[in-house]
Amino acid sequence: MDAVLSYIPLDITLIAENFDRFLYGVWTTLVLTFLALLVGGLFAIPMAIARASKHWLLNPIIWSFTYVFRGSPLLVQTYLIYFGLGQFEAVRESWLWDPILSSAWWCAFIAFSLNTAAYTTELLRGSIVDTPSGEVEAAIALGHSYYKRLRRVVLPSAFRRMIPAYSNEVIFMLHGSVIASTITLQDILGVGRWLNGRYYLAYEGFITAALLYFLIVLCITQLFRLLERRYLPHLRERDTTTDSAPLPGSIR
């Protein structure tokens, strides 16, 4: 075993000894990323609807929001919230300071959520606007009300069509979450940085971190492959070899 390890120019034992830290880093990264995606995604739905429907009041407000959060780097947004808000006495004395705005985790979480909400809003807005107008007309002609139309035709269709593009947003968010490590959080990269700082060994920490991100991205892409198979069967070529067999995928 030692003979094998001696060929590898990395200090494997050091990584192994600290692997529980890395696993905790994985946990931190995953929780932060996916909670932000969940919350940001939920906020994005009504905002995208308001944008797509060109609501006279909400549309310009939401447009400004998405413009600001897509127009500046996530790192800057995180710093503004984490370092910036604490400058104000009023913020430090408000009920929001403890336990929320004084905590690095919460600041990262808020910045990430707002950022992904902005991107997802625009993604979903585009998808809603691209709904084939004939399909919307068919829903109108059927007697659907505006909200039923949204719920039964426009949104199900828009969500499905945005699945492939949304996988990018998920991966970008995962990679963007390394910003958490710059405000003291021990996410995957945070542990790598800690290892580097403590032992002056760059590769051990950073290669491990890279491999862990790689693994998570692999899981994400597989998950989206499953989602596409499940929800986009109508975009697939029909399997002509088994003509008589019904296609899977009917919800009912």
Partner 1 sequence: MIDAPALQVNDLYKSFGDNAVIKGVSMDASRGDVISILGASGSGKSTFLRCLNLLETPDSGDVFLAGEKMAMKRNRRGHQVPVDIRQVEKMRSRMAMVFQGFNLWSHMTVLDNVLEGPIYVQNVAKAEAKEKAYAMLERVGLSDRAKYYPAHLSGGQQQRVAIARALVMEPDVMLFDEPTSALDPELVGEVLEVMSNLAKEGRTMLVVTHEIAFARDVSTKTVFLHQGEICEEGPPDEILKSPKTEQLTTFLSRLS
Q: Write out the residues near partner 1 by the rule CB under 8 A.
A: 132, 134-135, 137-145, 148, 152-153, 156-157, 160, 231, 233-235, 238, 244, 246-247, 249-252
| Cα–Cα distance for residue pair 188/191, rounded to 1 Å | 5
Q: Which helix (H) or strand (E) holds 107?
A: helix 104-129
In the bound complex, what is the minimum distance in angstroms from residue 239's beta carbon to partner 1?
9
| Cα–Cα distance for residue pair 181/192, rounded to 1 Å | 9
Cβ-contact 213, 33 below 8 angstroms:
no
Locate 132 and state its tokens.
Answer: 């084939």
Return the ∠ at Cα 50 (arms to 49 and 54), rounded to 5°: 115
Cβ-contact 109, 32 below 8 angstroms:
yes
In the bound complex, what is the minimum distance in angstroms from residue 160's beta carbon to partner 1?
5
Smaller CB distance to partner 1: residue 138 or 219?
138
Smaller CB distance to partner 1: residue 71 or 248?
248
In the bound complex, what is the minimum distance in angstroms from residue 224's beta carbon to partner 1?
17
In the bound complex, what is the minimum distance in angstroms from residue 52's beta carbon to partner 1?
17
Smaller CB distance to partner 1: residue 1 or 141?
141
In the bound complex, what is the minimum distance in angstroms from residue 236's beta carbon to partner 1?
9
Place of tokens 């400058």: 87
| Cα–Cα distance for residue pair 35/42, rounded to 1 Å | 11
Smaller CB distance to partner 1: residue 6 or 240?
240
In the bound complex, what is the minimum distance in angstroms from residue 241's beta carbon to partner 1?
14
Cβ-contact 105, 111 below 8 angstroms:
no
Locate 134 and state its tokens.
Answer: 């004939």
Smaller CB distance to partner 1: residue 51 or 160?
160
Smaller CB distance to partner 1: residue 110 or 139?
139
Q: How far is CA 3 from the centre of its chain?
A: 43
